[in-house]
Amino acid sequence: MKPPPFEYFAPASVKETLDLLREHGDQAKLLAGGQSLVPMLNFRLVRPGALIDLNGVPGLDGIREEPGMLRIGAMTRQRAVERSAVVRERCPLLAEAMPQIGHVQIRNRGTIGGSLVHADPAAELPAVVAALGGELIVRGAAGERTIAAADFFVGYLTTAVAADELLVAVRLPVAPPRAGHAFVEVSRRHGDFALVGVAVTVTLDGSGVCTSAAIAVTGVGPAPVVAADAVAALVGQRPATTAFEEAARRVSAQLEPHSDLHASAEYRKQVGGVLTRRALALASERAAGASR
Amino acid sequence: MKQRAIRVTVNGRTHERTVEVRRTLADFLRDDLDLTGTHLGCEHGVCGACTIVVNGEAVRSCLMFAAQVDGAELLTVEGLADGERLHPIQEAFWEHHGLQCGFCTPGFLMTLYCFLREQPDPTESEIREAISGNLCRCTGYQNIVTAARAAAGSLRAGAS
């Protein structure tokens, strides 16, 4: 058998899950969709003493509208988010990123929370949540706490979720009026992890001046890179090629990617800039379209 | 627990078994139920050869454990044909030479089975995207795409 031996638990409630986490400590691994964890088990890269399967825990999935926010349960399948009309309407940046995650068989099992907690440095969802300034809701024995996206992604495959805590949901701000979005990435093949991916939002006022924007880049470091300096090149101006190019230059200058088998650091820096320019142009066009 | 009793329906037949909890669903189908039509290529979620249908959705059976399908309904490639009569998707693969060695074929068939139910009249680029999670080393995909289009046509004709 490929996976190493482990004890398997299928808790029927969040409380039971937290009890198991407390009992097994850092020997335990939570199993959500399993699309990253099971390959790691099959390679024996991880050898948890206890595998705690969340698939039978009620109340962890579903998409809910809250005032100004969209709340997505951690165990919501990626495919459900991809198919959701509410997500397309309220959170179009997320909707655009969804089909770029893996393949349909992966998204049928893979969950929103699983991907966020796994925090692969080239994954799409962390960049989306970082760009939108989302909130991660985590539950532990002491109760619930909310972590801002900026504090959630700590480093390579590492988040601020403690060993005895469970991510229960992510909250994302809904897109305001006159807003545009874009998620663009470059990968070797469709469905592969991004070599570089860029998530942006652009919001305009009634006269077409940019009032706020956000840029987050994935695949260029241990965690998504939020490019505040580049955003400053755009805010207060009418979106135009010169501003996009200046923002792209700043993103490129800010990035400190590593070279690996798939792409060199120089390539990633360059592509990060190019994709930023394209994404800002597309998002601005969409924002202008939404204003009409 | 290291073992778990499960009850699962595969291709309409219900099985009750006790499985070691680390047994993947793919190994369970092949080794415990002797349903060797589901093939194992990479065993880490890349090649798509082990794709089966679990509760109506195409998934990679190498990335699930048998312990997780207690109470589920599964469809594998063995469940596609109706006795001696091939399923229209199988028929189209035969007709359009959608396979050479056949190793990847069960995965393609099960992926397309779900896709064509959801999208009965797909464009070529939609077909290519739908099968992007399945690797084929023989055909260059051309005839698989042709077969998928033909299958869509005969499934639509059969439905009307």
Indicate whether A163 and A68 sit together in one domain. yes
What are the b/e assignments for A13-31, b being 16+ CB within 10 Å?
Answer: ebeebbebbeebeeebbbb
Whole-structure pTM value: 0.96
Distance (Å) from the alpha carbon of A25 to chain B's nearest alpha carbon: 17
- Report percent pLDDT > 70 for chain A: 100
Whose structure tokens read 């207060």? A236
- Do the domain assignments include residue A46? yes
Q: Chain A residues with CB inside 8 Å of B64's CB?
A: 34, 38, 109
- Report d(CA A191, CA A78) in Å as an integer: 14
Does B51 reach chain A within 8 Å, measured CB to CB?
Answer: yes
Q: What is the pLDDT of residue A124?
A: 97
- Nearest-CA distance B53 → chain A (Å): 10
* Residue-level pLDDT at A32: 98
Our CA angle for A125, A42, A33, nearest 5°, is: 35
How far apart are the C-alpha atoms of A232 and A213, rounded to whole Å? 8
Is A257 domain-assigned? Answer: yes
pLDDT at A290: 80
Which residues have CB under 8 Å from B140's CB, separation 6+?
none
Determine, yes or no, domain membership for A17: yes
Q: What's residue A25's pLDDT?
A: 87
Q: What residues make up the domain containing A155?
A: 63-172
Say what the pLDDT of residue B54 is: 98
User: Of A144, A172, A200, at which residue does a domain stop?
Assistant: A172
Provide φ and ψ at B128, rounded to 5°. -60, -40
User: Cβ contacts (< 8 Å) between B111 and chain A: which residues?
Assistant: 104-105
Q: Are A197 and A146 within one domain?
A: no
Q: A101 near A110, Cβ under 8 Å? A: yes
Same domain for A23 and A87, yes or no, is no
Rounded (5°) CA angle B97-B120-B111: 55
Residue range A159-190, pLDDT digits in tens = 999 999 999 999 999 999 999 999 999 998 88
List of chain A residues with pLDDT < 70: 292
Cα A222 to the center of its chain, rounded Å: 13
Cα A194 versus chain centre, distance: 12
Q: Are residues A185 and A287 in the same domain?
A: yes
Query: Which domains does chain B carry?
Result: 3-79 (3.10.20.30), 88-159 (1.10.150.120)
Residue ranges with strand state E in chain B: 3-10, 13-20, 51-54, 57-60, 73-75
Token digits of residue A252: 């490129």
**DSSP H/E element including B89:** helix B88-95
| Residues whose CB falls within 8 Å of the CB of residue A195, separated by 6 or more in sequence, listed in order | A122, A185, A186, A187, A188, A219, A262, A263, A267, A268, A271
Whichever domain contains A158, its CATH number is 3.30.465.10
**Contacting A residues, span 123-182, partner chain B, CB-CB under 8 Å:** none
Question: Which residue, of A139, A172, A205, is where some domain finishes?
Answer: A172
Give the pLDDT confidence score for residue A191 in this predicted structure: 80
* Residues B25, B133: Cα–Cα separation, whole Å: 19
Residues A87, A147 within the same domain: yes
Q: What is the tens place of the pLDDT at every residue in B94-131? A: 999 999 999 999 999 999 999 999 999 999 999 999 99
Number of domains chain A is built from: 3
Domain boundary among A172, A200, A223: A172
Same domain, residue pair A91 and A121:
yes
- Tell me whether residues B68 and A53 touch, CB distance under 8 A: yes
In chain A, which ranges are continuous DSSP H helix? 14-24, 37-42, 78-83, 85-90, 92-97, 104-109, 112-118, 124-132, 149-152, 228-232, 241-254, 265-291
Q: How much is the pLDDT for A292?
A: 65
Tokens of B73: 């309904």
User: Among all residues of chain A, which has the CA nearest to that of B4?
Assistant: A8
Question: CA nearest A45 in B: which residue?
Answer: B44
Percent of chain B with pLDDT over 70: 100
Across the interface, whether the CB atoms of B48 and A103 are under 8 A apart is answered yes
Q: Domain containing A189 — which CATH number?
A: 3.30.390.50
Question: Inter-chain contact A8–B129, Cβ cutoff 8 Å?
Answer: no
Q: Mean of the pLDDT values across residues B25-42?
A: 98
Does residue A224 form part of some domain? yes
Q: Is A254 a member of any domain?
A: yes
Per-residue burial over A167-197, b if 16 or more Cβ lie within 10 Å, else e, is bbbbbbebbeebbbbbbbbbbeeebbbbbbb
Confidence of residue B91 (pLDDT cuts 50, 70, 90): very high
Structural tokens at position B143: 């005839």
Q: Residue A47 belongs to a domain with what CATH number?
A: 3.30.43.10
Q: Are residues A71 and A142 in the same domain?
A: yes
Any A CB within 8 A of B59 CB? yes
Report pLDDT for A190: 80
Predicted confidence (pLDDT) at residue B32 exceeds the cutoff of 80: yes
